[in-house]
Structure 1
Amino acid sequence: SKGDNKIDLEKLTRGDELGAIVTALKVFRDNQLHLEQLRADQEKSAALTADERRAKEAAAAAAAQEASLVVSNLAEGLEKLALGDLTFRVTAEFPGDYRKLKDDFNAAMGSLQETMKVIAASTDGLRTGADEIAHRQASDVVSTTRGEATHSGQVVHQAVSAMGEIEKSSGQISQIIGVIDEIAFQTNLLALNAGVEAARAGEAGRGFAVVAQEVRALAQRSAEAAKEIKTLISSSTQQVSQGVSLVGQTGEALQRIVTKVGEIDALVTEIAASAAEQATGLNEVNTAVNQMDQVTQQNAAMVEQSTAATHSLKGETGELVRLMARFQVGGGSSSYTRPAVADAGQHAPARNPVAEQQARLNTFARPGRSSGSAALAQAPAADGWEEF
């Protein structure tokens, strides 16, 4: 009655009523020892199950934390990409199979950054080419820019391939999470079967029923954790798909840029040809202006010669009038009147600066002879005698 099962009942074996009581006590003692052994086994099994449950919960929590870390970093990276920040890199350490996802994402961002650098360099090249149009070098510059833009399109294609690999890796991770979910489901079934078997065992299987219930609860928690991880991976896959779409749109934009650069190349080639034609025309105009200048100089020299000849003729005419004034010719005229000599300056052509200076000098040319001739033409014969 005190729970002491160490009493040796073999010595009390007898053939009377006390012997029967001793035999019954042996049965009770053996049953009690068996129950204590079962209880000890149940406690040991419960302790092991609790440890396993804690270990699985810790593993599930660690997996959920890892998935949350991966998804948060990728979400931040895609947000930076949407804002146009291509310098972002995932620096957090990803565990296990997630490292390839990190490397692929950083590689994609690096490819996009290099692509944008090439585009910026191409834009600078376009600007430089526009400045060099006046130096007749725009055609070569635009051709080079077209090649760089084509290279940019190839880099973007590589970036699209890298993002596709990221999406493929996300799909593989989803498959792994599906396997974990299947394991949790099988564990739940095993726990359910263990509970049924414990119920069949009755009172002796009550401990196993408790263990089966704990295992079933652990399986349900594992399934819920796997479901949450699968949801996070699905969200990550969706965001990666958005990134793939953005990179694809970037590739299309670069393709349009390549097309436009080709059109600019054709236009600049036409502009260069037109500039060459204009340069040729300007050379011809310059030659014509030089010829006109030479003709103008020749005309000025001819005007100077004509002016000198006119003044010389004017002087000779004055001398002739002076000589003719000495004769009486009759006819109501007492003397020969000098005809008026037209001023050479009145019929001179339009003056250039050189001719104008020459005409200004000619206004005062030979004033003595001209005035003397006029005086002789107007004076009557003073002597009053006739010759012949």
Structure 2
Amino acid sequence: MLERLRFAGLDEGQTDVLRRNRETLGAQVELALRDLFHRLQTFPEAARHFTSDRQIDRLHDLQSSHWSVLTDARFDSLYAERVKVLSDAESKMGLDPRWQIAGHAVVLERLICSMIEEFWPKSVLPLGKTRKQELAELVAALVRTVFVDTEISVSLRFNEQRHAHQRQLAEQRKAGEAEAFATFGDVVQALGRGDLSVRAADEAAAYRPLAQELNTALDAIERQVVGLGDSAGTMEGTSRELRGQAALFADGAARQSEALGETVTALTAIVGRVKDNAVATRAAEKSVATARQSAEQSGEIAGQAISAMADIEASAEKIGQIIGVIDEIAFQTNLLALNAGIEAARAGESGRGFAVVAQEVRALAQRSGDAAREIKQLVSSTKSQVEAGVERVGRTQDAISSIVEQVRGINDAVAGIAAETADQVDGLQSATSDLGRIGIEIAAGAGKAAEAKETCGDLHMVILELGQTIRQFHVQREAPKMAASRPFAAAVAIETLVDANNRQDHGFEDADGLQVQLAGWGR
């Protein structure tokens, strides 16, 4: 830094002069920076480097801070830091050094003209003002000319260095490509042919680790391909067997679905017949209930008949008792008539009429006794017949009671059969519904099985194609061959192994465009 200051002639006296006028210079610097950034924003080639207003504000702040330190003219660590920050910011924005030189020219022109205006003697004569104006224009023209020349020289120098660097990078790229082609060319070509037996040469020190890694990867890939080939053969047999099993399963599922459909149809018919039987059973239950009621009524009538016969038997018993009384009365009357006849006979003629009466009374008593005996015989016969009738009616009542019990049992049995038949109908209907759903599920399963059959067929074809693809690779089961060193053997295939940064086009400028680039300086 000191050598540069001595070469420029910046001694302590001159730096003191700058510091004494720093306030005046600072005000002009702000005006100059405003003019500079107006030009940068209106000049397309410079404006394209700014992506936002924030970048412009950032660069303006850095320039203002830099000129504030520069007009202090101390050239210490703070100055070095500000110069570095400004340079890094312009580099990140893509601004070439020529824009830095052009910016200094704009600021310097403004500062010199303002200082001429400041220190020029005040005069009322037009000649003095004219000479001051002419001096300011001359100084501005000299500043512009010198800085344009400096910018052109610096740009040419930078362009020459860039072109030299570009040529060096191109040569390095070609040498690297040749070395990469010699190392990896045959391997890439072999891979293009499906040959996994070729290995990369590891003579080149720069590519030795990469070649070794590639060879290791190729060894692993080769082992995997060999294993895949063996597995593909096994998979072919397995897929063939799986396809056959899927076909059998699909056919069996279809047959089961058809058989289940027939079963459901037959069961539906059975359910219909059972429903008819249930209806008939209900009708029989009603008929048996009616018969039971009739039998119960017959039993009641028989009971009533037995009760009536018992009443008749009791009446006959009473009649017998009455007839006995009548018979006893007839017997007593006969005795009285006999006694009366005896007494009349004793009386002689005076008792003859009484004897006739007694004789008639005796005859009447005799007839009453005979009639009573006949009635008694009839009542006894009637009583015997009534007892026999009561016995028969009792047996009939017992038979009717037995019939009623049997009919009640039949009724209960028929009712149970009807209830069981209804339950069976419900169960059969539920079973039919379940079988219908099962049939639908089996039909769906049969469809899925058919799809699985087709899928297994597709899988078998894919496995066959995979096996054919794997068998297209050539593998070396013994020691692999090393690739021969043939430069440029696979220029197209190996291109991706070269660093992409070495192939970037920097778009360097030349002196032909300098007039266009600097055309806005004098505005």
Using the size of structure 1 for normalisation, the TM-score is: 0.40
Is the radius of gyration larger for structure 1 or structure 2?
2
Using the size of structure 2 for normalisation, the TM-score is: 0.31
| Greater length-normalized contact order (CA 8 Å, ≥ 6 residues apart) | 2
